[in-house]
Amino acid sequence: MIYPLISRFVWAGLMASLLALMPATTWAGPGAHGPNGEHLDAPTMGIANGMRANLQIEAKSDLFELVATLTGGELSILIDRFATNEPVLKAQVEVESGGLKAQAKFHADIGDYAIDDPAMLKKLSTPGEHPLVITVLAGEDSDLLDGVLRVSASSADHEHGIHWAWWTLGALVIFALLGIAAALLRKKFQRQFSEGGQA
């Protein structure tokens, strides 16, 4: 009876932490279309829109359109076909900036491409303007898209602060739940000891 109780609380703590670590933003895909098929401005970022606007770029060509966002320790790229708004999946995507190149990893569960190369991320996270050239190779179609990622000093500090704030919150949730579990177990032991003494 003791071990299932402990495992339940540990599992609850982990799940609560994962939920706490999820960013409180909502996304619209790149080049979302309106009711008449027109291209709408790219993603809505919720309450963080003003700050995150400095950490993302939009680019489009005759074939593709994309939104690249620097957040959560990676450069996340969402790509659609310009004419149909169809997501471009399982393509080969490469990002170049300031002499550095990095291949993007495709996330099938999300449908985005992520750059997690430490050298590239370190460069893109520094305040300043970072020209990006993004190569997309999807089947027989290929194209180059370019844009400039503008990172202000306040944006870089804010992004770093948010990252650590979420991890701190997750750790606090885990400790709180483990404390509750310990208190319940102590109470359970005291009750069993009391009942055993009376018997």
Comparison of pLDDT for 194 and 28, the residue scoring more: 194
d(CA 105, CA 110): 12
- Average pLDDT, stretch 69-94? 94
- Name the residue type at position 189: F
Q: What is the mean pLDDT of residues 30-39?
A: 48
Average pLDDT over residues 4-26: 48
Mutual angle of helices 2-21 and 153-198, in 10-degree steps: 160
Q: What is the pLDDT of residues 154-166, one digit of tens each?
A: 654 544 554 555 5
190 pLDDT higher than 90: no
Mean residue pLDDT across the chain: 74
Residue 129 has what pLDDT? 93
Domain boundaries, the chain: 25-152
Does pLDDT of 23 surpass 50?
Answer: no
**How would residue 37 be classed by pLDDT, with cut points 50, 70 and 90?**
very low
- What was the pLDDT predicted at 195? 67
Architecture of domain 25-152: Sandwich (2.60)
